[in-house]
Structure 1
Amino acid sequence: MNGIELRNVSKSFKGLSLFENVSVSFEKGKIYGIVGHNGSGKSVLFKMMCGFVFPDQGSVLVNGIELGKNKRFPENFGIIIDKPGYLGDKTGFENLKYLAAIQNKISDEKIKETLEMVGLQYTLKQKVKHYSLGMKQKLAIAQAIMEDQDVLLLDEPFNGLDVDSVENIRNLLKSLNQEGKTIILTSHHNEDIELLCEHVFRVRNCTLEQLK
């Protein structure tokens, strides 16, 4: 199938069982919400979906290809997990330029355009170490979407954003989804989940319960 599929996945972390025999599919082009209390395993779930960690048992497939067999990391994934690390002595634009140089797929213009989309001025000379939490969050979102990634895994993308910025990023995610992007996100705010997500899963009792 086109999308992400977990087949009979079990995973423990630091001696704690987080997932037991979980099978679930995330279809291409939809927005999914993942909810659950802190420590329930949401971040570990995201890390398994993008090849940062592997299941103890079972398999994770992206577009029908199992991660870890011949392919470590899936292509065209935009990711926010934990706190992204940046070069504190560089500007936001300089940081994204360094990251863009890895694959060399996009121009400076595209980086500037993406910064404006998330509400950061690309001309800003302020170094990232002096950024507020909200500004760092916008930079993380810009990093996740700037290369026109097909799948966005966004762990708490609204964290630290003010009301206007939340509205802007919600609208941005909706428009990216309308372009056909698959988006899987977590949020502590039910409103984000309710307004954005077609399907919602809750991490509970080592499994994923479908709520919507």
Structure 2
Amino acid sequence: MIVIEQATKKIGRNTVLKDVNLNFKEGTIYGLRGRNGAGKTMLLRAIAGLIKLDSGRILVNNQQIRKEISFPKSLGILIENNNVLPDFTLKKNLQLLAKIKKIATDEMIDDAILRVGFNPNDKRKVRQFSLGMKQRAAIAQAIFEKPDLILLDEPTNAIDVEGVREMRKIFELEKKRGASIILASHNPEDLNVLADEIIVMAEGRVVNEK
């Protein structure tokens, strides 16, 4: 369970989040809708612990982000530019990450790679991938540890039509597994197809929930 209370953040003179109050529960996909600069990415970054609020708080399983914990303990994330290391294979990327938390087995790594449409034995380095392939790789990175919380910012960018359908199936399966998924997208079809609840943001505020 994620609880956001009066979350406010300023960057310079701009208020990028203003008095945001939201609750997110497990096994649910939430869609964030809004124009560029509406606050969608900043909200994801705040939940991930990547930015510190000026006021208000974010609780994940009753632990406050940036106070009791630095970031959610079970988190998969794809925000803005993916951070898959270009000079390694996708499998090596996931193996390096797996050493940090020591959660994912080799079988879990191979399964995530297969799910996004790659061969686990592919020897190509990520820098050789197309933009759509890099996006798939970033999705594999977000899901391979089977996290409780998955944050996705424009996850289907640069992916072809068939690939988008495949990625949506992955997100649906992660939801069925019990994960909470918060997804920001400019693609209205992504939100209409996937989201159980849609949250509309404008100028750092939540202006509508449905």
Could you say whether these structures have the same fold, taking a TM-score greater than 0.5 normalized by the shorter chain as the test?
Answer: yes
Does the 8 Å contact 2:38/2:205 carry over to 1?
Answer: no
Q: Which residue of 18, 23, 26 maps to 1:25?
A: 23
CA deviation vs aligned residue, 1:2-61 (integer Å, no higher than 9, x gap): x11111111112321122222111122211000111122211111110111111111111
Task: Using the aligned pairs only, state the percent identity.
Answer: 36
**Equivalents in 2 of 1:205, 1:38: separation in Å?**
9
CA deviation vs aligned residue, 1:125-183 (integer Å, no higher than 9, x gap): 11111110111111111111101101100111111111111001111111111111111
Deviation >3 Å, runs of 4+: none
Q: Which residue of 158, 161, 176 maps to 1:160?
A: 158
Q: Which residue of 103, 106, 121 maps to 1:123?
A: 121
Q: Which residue of 191, 194, 200 maps to 1:193?
A: 191
Query: In the alignment, what sits opposite 1:66?
Result: 64
TM-score normalised to structure 1 length: 0.95
2:183 aligned counterpart, secondary structure: strand
Q: Which residue of 65, 74, 78 maps to 2:76?
A: 78
Against the structure 1 CA distance between its residues 165 and 10, is the aligned structure 2 distance closer, same or farther, given a 3 Å change threshold? same
CA deviation vs aligned residue, 1:64-116 (integer Å, no higher than 9, x gap): 21112221111101111111223322111111111111112222221111100
Query: In the alignment, what sits opposite 1:139?
Result: 137
**Equivalents in 2 of 1:174, 1:210: separation in Å?**
24
CA RMSD of aligned residues (A): 1.2
- Any stretches of 5+ residues in structure 1 without a counterpart? none
- Any stretches of 5+ residues in structure 2 without a counterpart? none
What amino acid does structure 2 have at the position aligned with 1:76?
S
Say how many residue pairs are matched. 210
1:59 aligned counterpart, secondary structure: strand
TM-score normalised to structure 2 length: 0.95
What amino acid does structure 2 have at the position aligned with 1:156?
E
2:158 aligned counterpart, secondary structure: coil
Query: In the alignment, what sits opposite 2:49?
Result: 51
